[in-house]
């Protein structure tokens, strides 16, 4: 299969279970015995639950940390700009990290100020599915200190060492190159952005706006290196139709450029 236009590692649930098990083994081998697991944002929730089970920890809490985009546009998230940035870096010869930096500069970490927990004296394990910038883990560590934790360590499945400002205490995969890790708990959210950029950019490149459903599936494979899950593809197209970015029928889509 030709190289995809945007590098994506689709992580399936079986891999998440396997990676979580191996990560738990590393934590145990180090001798750290947490008595509280703190999921960092929604992304860390599933992995945190697996680790709580595997490490025998009864206390599991969620640190309400999330990204807020400055100048957010309707029907788009920062992933759309990352996909466009990769395409333009390939086209223009600019390093992709320049585009990544531009995207990250428009993101701010948000924390719900109303959340306060008492974890006095606890040994807390902070869990995020991927540490790409280090911003969420850094904020979560500050929260854990305010909640009274005596010992705080961080764990993640994937550590993006070129872009992260911190090194987690425990990680399984070190990602040195650029790739988007697509996890099953955000599949539809990511499909929406994948499909939007793919259809808009492809329509501009070839000068037409109408695509058959078969062509849409072929485009997805060309762009992202994997045949699309038809359920998620259809849900993403329906959502984009509701946004007004395309017209959807049973057999074709018509892209509305400039929307």
Give the integer Cα–Cα distance in Å for 87 and 104: 17
Q: Is residue 26 in some structural domain?
A: yes
Q: Is residue 1 in some structural domain?
A: no
Specify whether 144 is located in the same domain as 58.
yes
Question: Could you report the per-residue pLDDT of 100-126, keeping only the tens digit for each?
Answer: 888 778 878 777 767 788 899 999 999
Per-residue pLDDT at 123:
97
The residues with which 7 forms a beta bridge, in sequence order, are none
Give the residue numbers spanning the domain of 221.
Answer: 78-105+183-255
- Residues contacting 27, CB < 8 A, separation 6+: 34, 51, 55, 125, 155, 170
* CATH number of 124's domain: 3.40.50.2020
Structure-token pair, residue 120: 């006095």
Specify whether 39 is located in the same domain as 89.
no
Specify whether 127 is located in the same domain as 249.
no
Q: What is the tally of structural domains in the chain?
A: 2
* C-beta atoms surrounding 231 within 10 Å: 11
Q: Is residue 100 in some structural domain?
A: yes
Specify whether 55 is located in the same domain as 146.
yes
User: Residues of the chain whose pLDDT is less than 70?
Assistant: 1, 113, 259
Specify whether 114 is located in the same domain as 48.
yes
Question: Could you report the per-residue pLDDT of 32-78, keeping only the tens digit for each?
Answer: 999 999 999 989 999 999 999 999 999 999 988 887 777 778 888 88
Per-residue pLDDT at 1:
59
Per-residue pLDDT at 117:
85
Last residue of a domain, one of 180, 200, 216: 180
For the chain, the DSSP string reads: -PPPSS-EEE--HHHHHHHHHHHHHHHHHTT---SEEEEETGGGHHHHHHHHHHHT---EEEE-EEEEETT--TT--HHHHHHHHHHHHHHH---HHHHHHHHHTTEEEEE-TT-----TT-EEEEEEEEESSSHHHHHHHHHHHHTT-SEEEEEEEEE-TTT-SS--SEEEEE--S--EEE-GGGHHHHHHHHHHHHHHHHHHHHT--EEEHHHHHHHHHHHHSSPPPHHHHHHHHHHHHHHTSEEE-SSEEEE-TT-
- Prediction pTM value: 0.92
Q: Is residue 3 in some structural domain?
A: no
Q: Is residue 46 in some structural domain?
A: yes
């Amino acid at each position: 299969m030709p190289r995809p236009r945007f590098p994506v590692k689709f992580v399936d649930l079986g891999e998440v279970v396997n990676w979580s098990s191996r990560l738990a083994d590393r934590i145990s081998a180090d001798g750290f015995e947490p008595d509280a697991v703190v999921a960092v944002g929604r992304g860390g929730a599933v992995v945190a639950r697996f680790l709580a089970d595997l490490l025998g920890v009864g206390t599991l809490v969620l640190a309400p940390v999330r990204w807020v985009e400055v100048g957010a546009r309707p029907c788009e998230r920062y992933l759309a700009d990352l996909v466009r940035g990769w395409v333009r870096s390939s086209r223009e010869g600019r390093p992709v990290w320049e585009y990544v930096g531009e995207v990250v500069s428009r993101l701010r970490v948000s924390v719900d100020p109303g959340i306060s927990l008492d974890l006095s004296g606890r040994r807390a394990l902070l869990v995020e599915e991927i540490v790409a910038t280090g911003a969420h883990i850094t904020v979560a560590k500050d929260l854990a200190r305010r909640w009274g934790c005596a010992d705080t360590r961080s764990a993640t499945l994937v550590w993006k060492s070129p872009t992260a400002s911190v090194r987690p205490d425990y990680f399984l995969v070190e990602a040195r190159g650029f790739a988007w890790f697509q996890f099953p708990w955000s599949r539809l959210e990511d499909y929406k952005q994948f499909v939007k950029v793919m259809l808009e950019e492809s329509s501009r490149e070839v000068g037409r706006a109408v695509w058959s459903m078969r062509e849409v599936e072929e485009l997805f494979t060309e762009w992202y290196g994997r045949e699309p899950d038809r359920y998620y593809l259809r849900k993403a197209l329906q959502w984009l139709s509701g946004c007004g970015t395309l017209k959807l029928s049973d057999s074709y889509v018509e892209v509305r450029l400039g929307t």
